[in-house]
Amino acid sequence: MSSPESAGHGSATQAPIEYADASPEVRAVYDDIMATRKSDWVNNYWKVLANHPPTLRRMWANSKEVMGPGALDPLTKELIYLAVSVTNACRYCIASHGAAARNKGMTPEQHAELVAIIGLANETNAQAFALDLQIDDKFR
């Protein structure tokens, strides 16, 4: 019997494709992931996407572009990603981007403040939606 932490939880999830079992096309993406991240491993998100190489390529290219150098610093990008992941209740993404944020310097104090902001934003967003608030002219 599988544990609650096992892949798929009885869903339609496909098995991760390990590097040794990957096609040359998939290995090329894995190699780029490891080189870009200066890492010696590929996480399960990419390994499962490898079941459909066009999706793997597209999502990795998009991730590299969006999360790469830009106007926002790397920690800010991870904090935003983490906030959206919490709001979307994606446990995998919370773990992945929480680790990335810590690796980019997120402190326990920053994490606590982020969680408070996420909670406040979700509560006030729900209230504003429920109240069908009209947008103030000064906000336009």
pTM of model > 0.75: yes
Q: Was domain 18-68 assigned CATH 3.40.50.300?
A: no
Greater pLDDT, 69 or 1: 69
Token look-up 């991240």 returns 37
- Residue 11 scores a pLDDT above 80: no
Task: Tally the residues of the chain.
Answer: 140
Q: Pick from 81, 68, 73: which is nearest to 118 by CA?
A: 81
The boundaries of every CATH 1.20.1290.10 domain in the chain are 18-68, 72-140
Q: Does 1 have pLDDT greater than 60?
A: no
CATH fold, domain 72-140, is: AhpD-like (1.20.1290)
Q: How far apart are CA 54 and CA 97, in angstroms?
A: 24
Q: pLDDT for 24-74, tens place per residue? A: 999 999 999 999 999 999 999 999 999 999 999 999 999 999 999 999 999
Indicate whether 113 pLDDT > 60: yes
Q: Decide if 56 contacts 63 (C-beta within 8 A).
A: no
- Hey, what's the torsion of the CAs at 61, 62, 63, 64, to 10 degrees? 50
Q: List Cα–Cα distances, 48 to 19, 20, 63, in angstroms.
A: 12, 14, 16
